[in-house]
A and B are shown apart, each in its own frame.
Chain A
Amino acid sequence: MNKNQSTKWNLDPAPESAGHVQLKTQYELFINGKWEKPNSGKYFDSINPANEEKLASVAHADENDVDKAVKAARHAYENVWSKLSGKERGKYLFRIARLIQEKAREFAVIETLDGGKSIRESRDIDVPLAANHFFYYAGWADKLEYAFPNRPVKSLGVAGQIIPWNFPLLMAAWKIAPALAAGNTVVLKPSETTSLTALKLAELIEESGLPAGVVNIVTGYGDTGSAIVNHPDINKIAFTGSTNVGKMIQKAIAGTDKKLTLELGGKSANIIFEDAPIDQAVEGIVNGIFFNQGHVCCAGSRLFVQEGVAETVIQKLKDRMDTLYVGDPMDKNTDIGAINSKKQLETISKYIQIGIQDGNEIYQSNCALPSNGYFCKPTLFIDVAQSSQLVQEEIFGPVLTIQTFRTVDEVIQKANNTPFGLAAGVWTDKGSKIFNLTSKLRAGVVWANTYNKFDPTSPFGGYKESGFGREGGLHGLEAYLG
């Protein structure tokens, strides 16, 4: 595996061992601190996208199960959690943070097995960030009166939370930690392709001694999510996922008192100026689009290069792409792992076909892909029109479009010209230009001379059809307070 034709030397395989990982063959629903069989008796398979082998059976929750979970959450909210002092709530969250740190390796391995992302990323990014997120919000639990001056601190009640498959554990942490810190209880649904780390988190929460019903985890498909969204006794919906589903949720809860935050899709511009440090910028482009196989809502999927350096940047980018290791996600050398699911691979392939049919110049890195599992070569489309589907629609894979520009004004217009507004990147040596761009770009996060940086203290979220509300930082508390 990992034979890479274009480099002169190859690294030997360095696979992480999965020997110490404890996975059950079948997972039930985590409701009211107990493991409950699903009402329907139905289970679905969670598979490893890198070899298409089954990892475990996972319970499929229906309306009745969701109702049970909401009742448990309501009961825990009324009788236990809302009566606990902020200090004690915080101490539970600190415990959870510590337990994640203690079990970091197990979580990283399961995340990689279940989701296909490289072990390097799950080990160094997903899991530590998840622990840090709990640690950060743990500290807020007894300090809420400082967050929004002159506003009485009031929790909302039961939060229904639906999370995606691209950062399964991290998204669970982003949702659960602030909700609990602010005094709410939770019913959380992970994505059907990546339930396992959320279920391991449920085991860990059991171990932490968190009162029963404060966190409930129900697994399933869209119908399970829809049962959460439509449940009358939920006070708050937090959703991270596609813009289409986000719009459906916003419609579904219209006319109710449910509070809503949406973190949806993106088509973020990564802008390289002539005065940028080119080698660093090329690294930033690679990180921006190929991080997590491009399954990143804030991926820098639209590259804008100023004309004077376009040729150099594109050549260096191609050279750099050829050195990327695509293959076994469990291998510590792997840069790009498996595409999360067959369905997602089909979506990405569809867009690549559209790009080719439209007559765009395509470049794919020169690497061999494993014969099993779902893999996609890192792909560039060069000189793509602003109106192209590839530029306007979210692909959610390792596919980058490249456009060139001459002036600052031109790139501002082009960068802002999509329905999305999640993130953007700016590469230039000149500080005054950075701040011009950060004030003109209509996006919730702007990275200057860096890309895809995340921190529990830093708010994240979008403008326009990328959703509303912020997660992380002081601003992330707002979503969970009345």
Chain B
Amino acid sequence: MTRLSVLKTYKIYIGGQFPRTESGRYYSPLDAAGKPLANVCLSSRKDLRNAVVAARKAFGGWSERAAFNRGQILYRIAEMLEGRRSQFVEELMLQGSSEKAANQEVDLSIDRLVYYSGWTDKYQQIFSAVNPVASSHFNFSVLEPMGVVGVVAPQNSSLIGLVSTIIPIVAGGNTVVVLASEKLPLCAVTFAEVLQTSDVPGGIINILTGTEKELIEQFGSHMDINAVLYAGDTAENYKTLQVLAADSVKRIVKFKLNPSDETAENPYLIQDFQEVKTTWHPIENIGGSSSNY
């Protein structure tokens, strides 16, 4: 007697939970042979707004965590991904990768997580400064995360594109609402399951599936998104985003690297979503005593 396998329902990930889209709609991405892969949530603008609420709520706690602790958590994601690699390889192959390419993509994703895990307590040392102002003040500039960052993930990549765009942003203490690749969404949903078992507090990374066309305006116009990273490939959508972003003076960054490239990682991708804060503090110089020793 053959056993009937249990199929997975691909849901979205908001605030650490797996709801279905509030719209109740779905779409069916196809595999290489033109066969439907699964019924995936077609997220609505309301889902995006819910995700932003969850991300905003999580921002304070995440940005105030010690940099070291954020690093530990990112490293834990890498450990969990390594443990579940076969599932990702399988899904990548379902979506058209060769076995070799799928394994390479998972390897690269794990190593990239480890890479950014190491940056959490170091980028500050690279980009901050003590400024030698001429007056008697102690003056220093440090980086602080921007807040809630929207991400439109690359269309042509399922896992490494997602990891390469969102991880530097959360490494820097931001929270993220990401729209996964429309054509290749499976790994994004499975990655959410990895996140949920990796000590990542709910709401830090929120993952939606659906179409860029439908959600791009909301990414641009939402007044509580501080910045958006656009890694899509539609010039028209990118311009729409830029125009609407102006109403809330939103920072818009374009992801220009090929995520599958081993060198598509650097701390400037963290810096892109940081503000610079400068503090002035007087230095009292009472008796004019010098330190001649």
Contacts and interface: CB of A to CB of B under 8 A. Distances in A.
Given A90-B118, A136-B68, A142-B115, A416 B291 contact: yes
Interface stretch (A300-308, A345-353, A427-435): A427-435
Given A417-B293, A440-B290, A135 B281 contact: no
A99 to B, nearest CB: 13
A51 to B, nearest CB: 37
Nearest to B262: A87
A136 B111 CA distance: 16
A439 interface: yes
A91 B281 CA distance: 41
Contacts of B68: 132, 135-136, 456-457
A-side interface mostly? helix
Contacts of B290: 440
B283 A432 contact: yes
A436 B288 CA distance: 10
A407 B287 contact: yes
A413 interface: yes
A140 interface: yes
B135 interface: no
Interface stretch (B34-42, B51-59, B120-128, B234-242): B120-128
A435 B267 contact: no
Interface string B268-293: 00000000000001111111111101
Given A90-B114, A417-B293, A442-B293, A135 B283 contact: no
Contact of B118 (A139, A407, A433, A473): A139
Nearest to B116: A139
A143 B116 CA distance: 10
Contacts, number: 90
A431 B121 contact: no
A441 B286 contact: no
B289 A409 contact: yes
Interface string A129-151: 00010011011111100110000
A134 to B, nearest CB: 12
B291 A441 contact: yes
A74 to B, nearest CB: 28
Nearest to A149: B126
A323 to B, nearest CB: 31
Nearest to A419: B293
Q: Which 7 A-B pairs have the closest CB atoms?
A: A139-B118, A432-B284, A409-B289, A409-B287, A435-B283, A416-B293, A432-B282
12 contacts: A91-B114, A143-B119, A143-B267, A409-B288, A409-B289, A417-B293, A431-B282, A432-B281, A435-B283, A435-B284, A464-B293, A474-B122
Interface of B: 67-68, 71-72, 75, 111, 114-115, 117-122, 125-126, 138, 267, 281-291, 293
Given A139-B117, A442-B291, A457-B121, 8 more contacts: A139-B119, A143-B119, A408-B289, A431-B282, A432-B282, A440-B290, A464-B293, A474-B125
